[in-house]
Amino acid sequence: MAPVPPAFTLQGSGRLAGKNAIVTGAAGGIGLETSILFAREGAHVLMADISAPALETAKAKLLALIPSASVDTKVCDVSKEAHVQAVVEALDPKGGVDVMFNNAGIMHGRDDDAVNTPDDIWDLTHNINVKGVWYGCKHAVLSFRRHAKARASVINTASVVALVGSATPQLAYTASKGAVLALTRELAVVHAREGFRFNALCPAPLNTPLLQDWLGDDKPKRLRREIHFPTGRFGEAVEQAQAVLFLASDESNFVNGHDLVVDGAMSKAYVTPE
């Protein structure tokens, strides 16, 4: 069986000291773990999510781990431009955003193949997963300019399904994540001379509610996916968060327009170990 993820220390070394960071989908798996690491590394973190109660629970978890953290929350539906704008502008009195993590996304239970995906599910998925990311990028750029940032980092969450085809189709989701990769790449090139970096994160299937609630107790459905992991296990949200931290920090200053695949070699595997 695969090695379990290492325990990560709560001791930071100031990799994001002095930076203001926004995390969308901050009450969920990747978003919360990333908020914790960002706070640990000295950032002021603005956690944004559509669910007010989940956001409060997530903030409490963060503060229980890092009592000295500088953290705020804001309820936001990323598919609504005015909400995203309000989140970004909330950081204006603090000097504007430096790190924007456009992470909120959905995978709907009625998403299916070309024949069976309902029109409304296609639109809902794209409004959140694609338009939400676009609004985040747009208002981040406006803020970077407003505050004359010489360097800034935007990270957009895509998925491995943007890179490899899946015989368990979720066509609207897959198409939405392909769009995230394409728009991230283009923005990286457009804004490179302003010092604004744009990178995409491509997570493998993870141990987070988004996937695990959907798989439930269905063992065959679960095995259908697990078998493709050379490691023999799903990824953990914190393993994604570590990669996001690198992209957010100045250590990745020359990493731009990159699709960072964090998947335990799942997308590189032909036959996996028995």
Which residue numbers are catalytic? 173
Residues 29-88 that bind ligand NAD (CB under 6 A): 29-31, 49-51, 54, 76-79
Rounded distance between C-alpha atoms, residue 101 and residue 95, angstroms: 17
CB of 222 to ligand NAD, least distance (A): 12
Name the one range near ligand NAD by CB under 6 A: 11-19, 100-108, 137-145, 191-199.
Answer: 100-108
Q: Which helix (H) or strand (E) holds 24?
A: strand 20-24
Q: Does 103 bind ligand NAD (CB under 6 A)?
A: yes
How many angstroms separate the first and last alpha carbons of the chain? Answer: 10
Q: Does 96 bind ligand NAD (CB under 6 A)?
A: no
Picking from 271, 250, 242, 254, the residue whose alpha carbon sits closest to that of residue 262 is 242
Place of tokens 């798989």: 215
CB of 40 to ligand NAD, least distance (A): 18
Q: Does 28 bind ligand NAD (CB under 6 A)?
A: yes
Place of tokens 């798996």: 29
Greatest C-alpha distance within the chain: 56
Residues 201-220 that bind ligand NAD (CB under 6 A): 203, 205-206, 208-211
Residue 16 or 32: the one with the smaller Cβ distance to ligand NAD is 32
Residues 241-270 that bind ligand NAD (CB under 6 A): none
Rounded distance between C-alpha atoms, residue 135 and residue 81, angstroms: 6
Burial 221-255 (b: 16+ CB within 10 A, else e): ebeebbebbbbebbbbbbbbbbbbbebbbeebeee
Rounded distance between C-alpha atoms, residue 110 and residue 66, angstroms: 38
CB of 190 to ligand NAD, least distance (A): 23
CB of 80 to ligand NAD, least distance (A): 8
**What is the per-residue binding string for ligand NAD in 4-23, x denoting contact by CB under 6 A?**
--------------------
Residue 96 or 203: the one with the smaller Cβ distance to ligand NAD is 203
Q: Where are the beta strands (DSSP E) in the chain?
A: 20-24, 44-49, 70-75, 99-102, 152-157, 196-203, 259-262
Residue 208 or 256: the one with the smaller Cβ distance to ligand NAD is 208
Q: Which residues contact 92 (CB under 8 A, 6 or more apart)?
A: 143, 146, 147
CB of 160 to ligand NAD, least distance (A): 6
DSSP letter, residue 66: -
Q: Does 174 bind ligand NAD (CB under 6 A)?
A: no
Residues that bind ligand NAD (CB under 6 A): 24-25, 27-31, 49-51, 54, 76-79, 103-107, 128, 157, 159, 203, 205-206, 208-211, 237
